[in-house]
Amino acid sequence: MQKLNVNGIQLAYERRGKGTPLVLLHGFPLDHHLWDAVLPPLEDTFDLILPDLRGFGESSTVDSFYAMEDYASDIAGLLDGLGIRKAAVAGHSMGGYVALAFARLFPERVRGLALVSSQVLADSPERKDGRYKSAAEVAEHGIGSVVEAMTPKLTPDKKLQAFARQSMERQPPAAYIGALKAMAERVDSTTLLSSFLFPVVLIHGDADALIPVDRAREVKAALPQAHLVEISGAGHMPMMEDREKTAQALKHLA
Ligand code: MLT
């Protein structure tokens, strides 16, 4: 992977393909390999930029508290380093929260936005509390319990579960803790939607056990011009569970 120094972090990224710049942001607690399966059908259409968010994969981390806005500012710094002013941004789950923070901070740099298995809502007080409990658990006992709890919820497909589990086990505890706190503190983006003047794509499995498909339907209701693709039978990982439909949907951002 290539690396760029951004905000005091060695940000690792992969770059493939030719065309419209499209940043693909992975979810929690994964890295850019999440997107591997869906890259071949996209690389004739897009200049694909795949960062590992700070702390994950091959990117370095910081010890201090950080927020969704910091991940977003890392992406802006990465685009600056690559000489790209404006890009489409697609985020999976937590990557969607980062994409929303990016759109809030840098609206003039967004040429399109995709939320894949994600949502615009903030955490409920109970969910927030659960995130802090998980962060404390990871700090004390390691990542095991989070990996165990998440694996069966990602997808019913056992082979894909094994891939995701391996990926989750590669990530350091500090990345989990940083992301859990950043997710707990993220703001609600519902009102932000009305400011979106660029194409918006929503991709969601109708069997998602982590973020129900209703979250995507609610965004579509608030933003009728958004292109919603529901993937029948898919769980939380549509880019692996149905790569063709996911790729077709992302091409609306070209
Ligand atoms: C993710 O897949 O990125 C996370 O599960 C999202 C979340 O917990 O809200």
Q: Say if ligand 1 is within 6 A of residue 48 CB.
A: no
> Encoding tokens for residue 166?
């391996």
Which residue bears the tokens 């194409």? 199
Cβ pair 41, 33 in contact under 8 A: no
CA distances from 216 to 165, 188, 229, 240 (A): 25, 14, 9, 19
Q: Say if ligand 1 is within 6 A of residue 121 CB.
A: no
Please tell me the predicted confidence (pLDDT) of residue 64.
87
Reduce the DSSP state of residue 19 to 3 states and report it. coil
HSE-up of residue 179 (Cα within 13 Å, Cβ side)? 28
Please tell me the predicted confidence (pLDDT) of residue 62.
86
Q: Say if ligand 1 is within 6 A of residue 93 CB.
A: yes
Question: Domain 2-122+188-253, what architecture?
Answer: 3-Layer(aba) Sandwich (3.40)
Distance CA 30, CA 236 (A): 13
Q: Say if ligand 1 is within 6 A of residue 175 CB.
A: no
| Model confidence pTM above 0.85 | yes
Q: Tell me the pLDDT tens digit for each residue of 117-131.
A: 999 999 999 999 999
Cβ pair 188, 180 in contact under 8 A: no
Q: Say if ligand 1 is within 6 A of residue 183 CB.
A: yes
Please tell me the predicted confidence (pLDDT) of residue 225.
96
3-state helix/strand/coil string of 22-74: EEEECCCCCCHHHHHHHCCCCCCCEEEEEECCCCCCCCCCCCCCCCHHHHHHH
Closest approach atom of ligand 1 to CA 131: 8
Reduce the DSSP state of residue 85 to 3 states and report it. coil
Please tell me the predicted confidence (pLDDT) of residue 79.
98
Distance in Å, CA 126 to ligand 1 centroid: 15
Please tell me the predicted confidence (pLDDT) of residue 231.
98
The maximal CA–CA distance of the chain, rounded, in angstroms, is: 46
Reduce the DSSP state of residue 3 to 3 states and report it. strand
Please tell me the predicted confidence (pLDDT) of residue 196.
96
Q: From 37, 53, 128, 39, select the one nearest 96 (Cα to Cα).
A: 53
Indicate the top mutation candidate among 210, 215, 240 to test ligand 1's pocket, ranked by most ligand atoms within 8 A of CB: 210
Please tell me the predicted confidence (pLDDT) of residue 91.
98
Distance CA 175, CA 84 (A): 27
Closest approach atom of ligand 1 to CA 30: 3
Q: Tell me the pLDDT tens digit for each residue of 81-106.
A: 999 999 999 999 999 999 999 999 99
Distance in Å, CA 83 to ligand 1 centroid: 30
Please tell me the predicted confidence (pLDDT) of residue 63.
82
- Which amino acid is it at 233? G
Closest approach atom of ligand 1 to CA 210: 5
Low-confidence ranges of the chain (pLDDT < 70): none
